[in-house]
């Protein structure tokens, strides 16, 4: 693992589905603390929780973690990371990994993988991960973000639509339940950025494709920046978006004796 890797966990208190989500308990501790512990088990040189709420900061610090208060009006997690890069005085070549605050089961190895992928290619602005989609129901789910890549592994496009389109199979009345190849990829929302890119990103206005799809990474693509997409080396567990997700994660952790 290269030096200068900082894992940043953006954690907002507000949530339309689960208010106060970062502080909801899993096996006796706040979700954001469990995410912090997973990130601490990676090879990152530093792990910081970036929040707009003092209650989240206090919970992280009580567990021995580092938390940074940031503005409440950031339109995206990427914009919040740009503030973190400045607040920490990071050099342009420092690598920041955006770790979602609602993924308490995230394998630490994936943090290392995405950071190393970016470190290995200084022509890219960002790196992220993906995994194959094998069932048509997932492919056609608009809540699942799909990505298509070029032959070098860089992103061509991200979409909520089922991309690429199999004209031969899907123009017929019936569609197969299973997909026959690894051509379809589910995007995993784990990003690595260089600090210099984040400083550019925050000065760009949201782009038309970003606004249509509600996908902030499209802002980088529309500005001509290269995004590397590596295939995840480990399965990526689903995060917590709903009360049902929370119950599922709580049951899974309880079954493992409190260990994620």
Nearby residues of 25 by Cβ (< 8 Å), 6 or more positions away:
31
Cα separation of 21 and 74, whole Å?
Answer: 18
Q: State whether 116 and 228 are in the same domain.
A: yes
Which of 202 and 15 is assigned the larger pLDDT? 202
- 19: confidence class by pLDDT, cuts 50, 70, 90: confident
Cα separation of 258 and 6, whole Å?
Answer: 26
Q: State whether 51 and 68 are in the same domain.
A: yes
Range of the domain at 56: 1-103+240-259
Place of tokens 């707009």: 52
- For 123-144, what is the mean pLDDT? 92
- For 115-123, what is the mean pLDDT? 95
Q: State whether 111 and 92 are in the same domain.
A: no
Amino acid 3: pLDDT: 46
- 241: confidence class by pLDDT, cuts 50, 70, 90: confident
CA neighbours closer than 13 Å in the CB half-sphere of residue 142: 3
Q: State whether 76 and 178 are in the same domain.
A: no
| Average pLDDT for the chain | 90
- For 142-169, what is the mean pLDDT? 92
Pair of tokens at residue 233: 């080396």
Query: Best-predicted range by mean pLDDT among 57-66, 81-90, 200-209?
Result: 57-66
- For 19-23, what is the mean pLDDT? 90
Cα separation of 185 and 193, whole Å?
Answer: 21
pLDDT reading at 260 higher than 60:
no
Amino acid 259: pLDDT: 61
Q: State whether 111 and 228 are in the same domain.
A: yes
- For 154-183, what is the mean pLDDT? 79
Q: State whether 211 and 171 are in the same domain.
A: yes
**Cβ atoms of residues 70 and 80 within 8 Å:** yes
pLDDT reading at 1 higher than 80:
no
Number of helices (H) and strands (E) in the chain: give both, helices first. 10, 11
Give tens-digit pLDDT for 23-56: 999 999 999 999 999 999 999 999 999 999 999 9
pLDDT reading at 110 higher than 60:
yes
Amino acid 168: pLDDT: 75
Q: State whether 44 and 135 are in the same domain.
A: no
- 65: confidence class by pLDDT, cuts 50, 70, 90: very high
The number of domains in the chain is 2
Q: Determine if residue 203 is left, alpha or beta; phi over 0 gives left, psi from -120 to 50 gives alpha, anything else beta.
A: alpha
CATH number at residue 123: 3.90.550.10
Amino acid 2: pLDDT: 42
Q: State whether 96 and 176 are in the same domain.
A: no
Give tens-digit pLDDT for 227-237: 999 999 999 98
Q: State whether 76 and 132 are in the same domain.
A: no
Q: State whether 78 and 170 are in the same domain.
A: no
**Cβ atoms of residues 155 and 218 within 8 Å:** no
Amino acid 187: pLDDT: 96
Q: State whether 193 and 164 are in the same domain.
A: yes
Q: State whether 69 and 158 are in the same domain.
A: no
pLDDT reading at 15 higher than 80:
no
Query: Best-predicted range by mean pLDDT among 145-149, 165-169, 176-180?
Result: 145-149
């Amino acid at each position: 693992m290269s030096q200068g890797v900082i894992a940043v966990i953006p954690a907002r208190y507000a949530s339309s589905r689960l208010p106060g989500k970062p502080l909801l308990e899993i096996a006796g501790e706040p979700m954001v603390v469990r995410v912090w512990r997973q990130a601490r088990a990676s090879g990152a040189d530093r792990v910081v929780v970036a929040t707009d709420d003092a209650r989240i900061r206090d919970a992280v610090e009580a567990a021995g973690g580092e938390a940074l208060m940031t503005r409440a009006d950031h339109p995206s997690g990427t914009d919040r990371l740009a503030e973190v890069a400045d607040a920490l005085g990071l050099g342009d070549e420092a690598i920041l990994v955006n770790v979602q605050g609602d993924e308490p089961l995230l394998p630490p190895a994936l943090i290392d993988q995405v950071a190393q992928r970016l470190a290995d290619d200084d022509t890219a602005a960002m790196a992220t991960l993906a995994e194959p989609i094998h069932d048509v129901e997932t492919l056609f789910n608009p809540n699942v973000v799909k990505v298509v890549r070029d032959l070098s592994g860089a992103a061509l496009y991200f979409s909520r639509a089922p991309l690429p389109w199999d004209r031969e199979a899907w123009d017929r009345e019936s569609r197969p339940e299973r997909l026959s190849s690894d051509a379809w990829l589910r995007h995993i929302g784990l990003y690595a950025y260089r600090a210099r890119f984040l400083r550019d990103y925050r000065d760009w206005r949201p782009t038309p494709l970003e606004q249509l799809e509600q996908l902030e990474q499209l802002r980088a693509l529309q500005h001509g920046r290269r995004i590397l997409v590596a295939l995840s080396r480990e399965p990526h567990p689903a995060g917590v978006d709903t009360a049902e997700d929370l119950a599922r994660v709580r049951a899974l952790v309880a079954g493992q004796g409190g260990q994620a």
